[in-house]
Structure 1
Amino acid sequence: MIKTKTPQKMLSKLIVRAAPRIKSRALLQLGHLTFQAAIGRNGRTAFKREGDGKTPIATLPLLYGFHRGERMASLQTSLTMYRTQPKMLWCDAPDSPNYNRLVKAPFKPSHEEMQRQDGLYDVCLVLDWNITSRKRNRGSAIFMHMIRPGYEPTAGCVALHPRDMRRVLPFLRRGGTITVV
């Protein structure tokens, strides 16, 4: 785990607005800075369901994050960041008692690997969607993570270019929020 203080003022309030014309694109605003982002392949929704491919319209508190240490070292943030390990998984099986929780391999129910080979989770921030108050099928693994090439859509997360993630991280802290409108 790394936890570093930054001298910069902590804004910690991000706003995600739909971009014009493409439902899976968004603009992420931090103060006066604006960044391109990818969101769910089916846009946004106020009624998030597991597997719907939509980003929840809500204010999502930042909880903590994960990073791939050998790929993303020296991160500047006050947000608590944990280094991913090969056995780290995130359960996305609604029928599991571990639904929407970090678990360890071996694990049979449906899950995502946190130490992905494609780089999407080189930095992965956990947003409080259906975590502190879990309900089956309300959606799992809503993160802010890295983009795919060409800003391809996500399964419901918010994704940034690695350069933009590094610019945003110093302003984030636990309890800060990401508001999707």
Structure 2
Amino acid sequence: MTPADLVLTRQGLRFRGRRYACSIGRGGLNAAKREGDGATPLGEHRIVGMLYRPDRINAPTGWARPILPGDLWSDAPEDPHYNHLVRAPYGQSHERLRRADPLYDLVILTDWNWPDAAPGRGSAIFIHQWRRPLYPTEGCVALSRRHLHSIAQDLVPGSRLIVR
């Protein structure tokens, strides 16, 4: 483990010697993650990117990429672009990254089932803002806005989200 790793524990998300309250998937933790199960997958997941809404926040790091109008994330297991960023118009099942609510104002991307996505193994394990304190996600890890922004400023590409 390196100091730049995020470690999910029973007490929350540990990062750089601090613990942060966080939410996980409504399906709990699972070593056999599947699309739609709502579980947070066990394992070590590399941080491979960061996205932010430039119309709402400043870039948290120099390596963060803006979420543009029309940015989507494919969650269609049968599609060749499954578990990848795609652009509208897009006819397959997808999730909008530019949401009306603030959940995806800042998104930290992990390498769960990416870049070579296995169909049905689950898409998009993000670290993002929670809907409300400790409200479960669809499999992602979620934090308060303040804590998410604080962590994002100190992350480096290649840091890991460790889920045991």
Fold-level match, TM-score > 0.5? Answer: yes
In structure 1, how many angstroms separate the alpha carbons of the residues matched to 2:125 and 2:159?
Answer: 15
Equivalent residue, structure 2, for 1:111: 94
Equivalent residue, structure 1, for 2:41: 56
In structure 2, how many angstroms separate the alpha carbons of the residues matched to 1:168 and 1:93?
Answer: 30
Equivalent residue, structure 1, for 2:151: 168
1:34 lines up with 2:26 in the alignment = no
Overall identity of the aligned pairs, in %:
37
For 1:3-152, what aligned pairs fall within 5 Å after superposition? 11-19=3-11, 27-75=12-60, 77=61, 80-152=63-135
Instruction: Provide structure 1 residue ranges, at least 5 long, that are not aligned to the other structure.
Output: 1-9, 20-26
SS at match of 2:149: helix
In structure 2, how many angstroms separate the alpha carbons of the residues matched to 1:132 and 1:74?
Answer: 24
In structure 1, how many angstroms separate the alpha carbons of the residues matched to 2:133 and 2:20?
Answer: 14
Q: Relative to 1, partners in 2 of residues 1:116 and 1:46: Cα closer, same or farther, differing over 3 Å?
A: same
Q: How many residues align?
A: 163
Shifted more, 10-19 versus 66-75: the winner is 10-19
Instruction: Provide structure 2 residue ranges, at least 5 long, that are not aligned to the other structure.
Output: none
**Cα deviation, residue 11, structure 1:** 3.1
In structure 2, how many angstroms separate the alpha carbons of the residues matched to 1:110 and 1:74?
Answer: 28
In structure 2, how many angstroms separate the alpha carbons of the residues matched to 1:13 and 1:116?
Answer: 28
In structure 2, how many angstroms separate the alpha carbons of the residues matched to 1:32 and 1:173?
Answer: 16
Equivalent residue, structure 2, for 1:179: 162
Report the aligned-residue RMSD: 1.4
Query: Structure 1, residues 38-73: CA drift from partner, whole Å, max 9, x if none?
Result: 110111101100000000011000001110112221
4+ residue runs over 3 A deviation? none
Match for 1:159 among 115, 121, 142? 142
Are the counterparts in 1 of residues 84 and 115 from structure 2 also a CA contact under 8 Å? no
**Cα deviation, residue 116, structure 1:** 0.8
**Cα deviation, residue 165, structure 1:** 1.1
Are the counterparts in 1 of residues 4 and 16 from structure 2 also a CA contact under 8 Å? no
Are the counterparts in 2 of residues 15 and 28 from structure 1 also a CA contact under 8 Å? yes
In structure 2, how many angstroms separate the alpha carbons of the residues matched to 1:85 and 1:133?
Answer: 24
**Cα deviation, residue 166, structure 1:** 1.8
Are the counterparts in 2 of residues 11 and 172 from structure 1 also a CA contact under 8 Å? no
